[in-house]
Structure 1
Amino acid sequence: MTRFLTTAALAAVFSAGGGALLTQATAPDGARTALTGAASAQEAEASESAAEVTEMVMGDADAPVEVIEYGSFTCPHCARFATDVMPQIEENYIETGKVKFIHREVYFDKYGMWASLVARCGGQEKYFGIADMIYSTQNEWVRQDSEAGIADGLRKIGLMAGIGQEKLDACMQDGEKLRTLVEWYQENATRDGIESTPSFMIDGELYSNMPYDEFAEILDERVAAAE
């Protein structure tokens, strides 16, 4: 079941030190230096914040079928979908112009929020590549024995994706951006009735997780109906 993270809960994450952990960087001598700014970011109004969030879209904007995935970067089922099912959907439906695919993050915990900031730091161009890296290595970074270890694991993914250290640090300390994303997630998930991950809105109709064969059958029906 989806556990909605409220803005108050998010504030508690920062007050407990979650924001500071995200902004730690390893100095040349191995010391940990906390960058400032996350905890003091101003909270935006929900109506204004939602307009600032970029939809992460893959495929032809004019594709006849739209698929929206609600996925959490800390959800094992989402990771399996990303590695086992998504490559086939991408090859057979997205690259062929049949499907426009949107990924929307769901926030169960602060680690998923941290991962979202890293993935979005690369912008539209790098988002899906970074998301793939986060999902495919989920068992490695999420199982670190400390919060600092988890933050470091996510930071390394961002660096491997070619995001510069300065830009990555700025993204990972952006508390206002995080609040904006949580508000946006809550609005979308409430409207679409999301209660588990991964969940999918296919042309506005809600579906739960499913194997590729079932997914393909639904997509084929939708594509045929659109012709």
Structure 2
Amino acid sequence: MIDRRKALILGGAAILGTGAYGLWNGNSTTSGLVDLGAARAQGTADIAEITLGREDAPVKVVEYASYTCPHCASFHNDTFKDFKREYIDTGKVHFTYREVFFDRYGLWAAMIARCVGPERYFGVADMLYQTQSEWARQGDPAAVAQSLKRIGAQAGLSPEEADACLEDAEKAQALVAWYEAKTAEDGVRSTPSFVIDGNLHSGNMSLAQIGALVDEAAG
């Protein structure tokens, strides 16, 4: 597990310049490994939390998900809109979405979503999950990158902005360090996972299932 995660932040041949395109490539070695401790100290504080809902809502829900996780796609495609309407929009839940990086494609997708800005983040997230079977299953990394850039373009990113986003090695390194710190803090080992008022629950859930947990937390 440690070695696989370290591979995310190794230098190596890139598809387009350097940065996220060059992360986690199959030919990487331990040379060029970024100092994770330094990344945590210097960069993780700059990683913005992605949130929805009233900050003073009575129940806090944190979702950990990967853009390449089929169960995460199922939750977002089948359940999330109803959950948002019934629990977030009504002020019952303050929701935080945290990306998990099991592979380079999930990292690239998260970077594109973040680069469009917080106001459009969840719109891009919807597109990523709805089309996951198309872009995430492509065997060629260059093809995946182009597919993600097209999704970014639908949200207003120019080709130049998308390239700059995916070439931002410093942000990529900080995101990986941030993800590792957050998942370790909450004991997350799989996706999707939900921390509901401090209690960890794992696995895809229906609206009835997650709603019951929120209602129980609200007392």
TM-score by length of 2: 0.87
Alignment CA distance shift 1:69-1:4 (3 Å): farther
Q: Distance in 2 between matches of 1:46 and 1:89?
A: 33
Q: Which residue of 1 aligns with 2:143?
A: 149
Matched, 1:9 2:7: yes
What is the rounded CA distance, in whole Å, between the counterparts of 2:121 and 2:210 in structure 1? 23
Distance 1:4 1:217 in 2: 35
Q: Match of 1:74, SS?
A: coil
Q: CA deviation at 1:215?
A: 0.8
Quick one: distance in 2 between partners of 1:5 and 1:116? Answer: 21
RMSD of aligned Cα (Å) = 2.1
> 1:182 & 1:173 partners in 2: Cα distance?
15
**What is aligned with 2:217?**
222
1:135 aligns with 2:129: yes
* Residues 200-211 of structure 1 aligned to structure 2 (within 5 Å): 200-209=194-203, 210-211=205-206
5+ residue gaps, structure 2:
23-31
For residues 81 and 2 of structure 2, the distance between their equivalents in structure 1, rounded to whole angstroms, comes to 29
Do 1:4 and 1:108's aligned partners in 2 also have CA atoms closer than 8 Å?
no
Deviation at 1:5, TM superposition (A): 6.7
Q: Percent identity?
A: 45
Which residue does 2:29 correspond to in 1? none
How many residue pairs match? The answer is 206
Amino acid aligned to 2:154: M
Q: CA separation in 2, counterparts of 1:120 and 1:5? A: 26
CA deviations on 1:87-142 (whole Å, 9 max, x unpaired) are: 11101001111111111010111111111110110121111111111011000101
Distance 1:213 1:64 in 2: 19
Partner of 1:29: none
For structure 1, the residue ranges without an aligned partner over 5 or more in a row are 22-33
Asked whether the 8 Å contact 1:65–1:202 carries over to 2, the reply is: yes
SS of match in other structure, 2:90: coil
Q: What is the alpha-carbon distance in structure 2 between the residues aligned to residue 73 and residue 169 of structure 1?
A: 19
> In the alignment, what sits opposite 2:54?
60
Distance 2:6 2:186 in 1: 22
Indicate conservation of the 8 Å contact 1:5/1:107, yes or no: no
Per-residue CA deviation, residues 16-60 of structure 1 (Å, 9 max, x unaligned), is x3xx32xxxxxxxxxxxx3456669x8653122111100000111
TM-score (norm 1): 0.84
Distance 1:122 1:60 in 2: 22
Which of 115, 118, 122 pairs up with 2:112? 118
- Which whole-Å CA distance do the structure 1 matches of 2:4 and 2:58 have between them? 35
